[in-house]
Homo-oligomer: A and B are copies of this chain.
């Protein structure tokens, strides 16, 4: 397309050599990474993509034929695309339980919020214990920690004691508590560099829900 992408023979040889070195290093690295285990995965931070990424992993599991489950801790009132998709197409391989009653500033009732969070956590425990499930997504559970509705020490203790060895558990939401980050195997933190809300654009289907 542009001159900068014309490739000379010398350029090509240099490229092949460099890529061969990268490949050798990568192959060496991969031979030392042979373990398999169920991971505790956390997606946190203020940026967009925490829930979408959790749902993306759930869709991967479904694509591989791995039974899995989702508990939504907060977004109960949203008619989300993910929820509709899972309920319509994949009820046999993926359970979805919507336990939250909407954002806590909508209910304005702390007792009701705590009861909802505790019920969601009981359901989550049940799904994690089920040996058939290969991945369980606890969507927006970090919000329940943030408001003190659930105790992270209790949740981390349960994962350590009762999560089957090969089951992946994915926990999302901003402000993941330090106890959870300490206990996790994989933690991603999503920062927002730019957001369309700042330009007066509202939440849109497909993007935000």
Contact = CB atoms under 8 A, between A and B. Distances in A.
Given A81-B63, A89-B89, A5 B186 contact: no
Given A23-B108, A108-B16, A192 B187 contact: yes
A203 to B, nearest CB: 8
Contact of A190 (B5, B135, B188): B188
A108 B89 CA distance: 41
A109 interface: yes
A185 B189 contact: no
A161 interface: no
A23 B186 contact: no
Interface in A69-92: 80-85, 88-89
Nearest to A46: B188
- Copies of this subunit: 2
A59 B59 contact: yes
Nearest to A204: B36
A130 to B, nearest CB: 16
A62 interface: yes
A196 B202 contact: no
A175 to B, nearest CB: 13
A52 B56 contact: yes
Looking at A7, A49, A82, A191, which has the most chain B CB atoms within 10 Å of its CB? A49
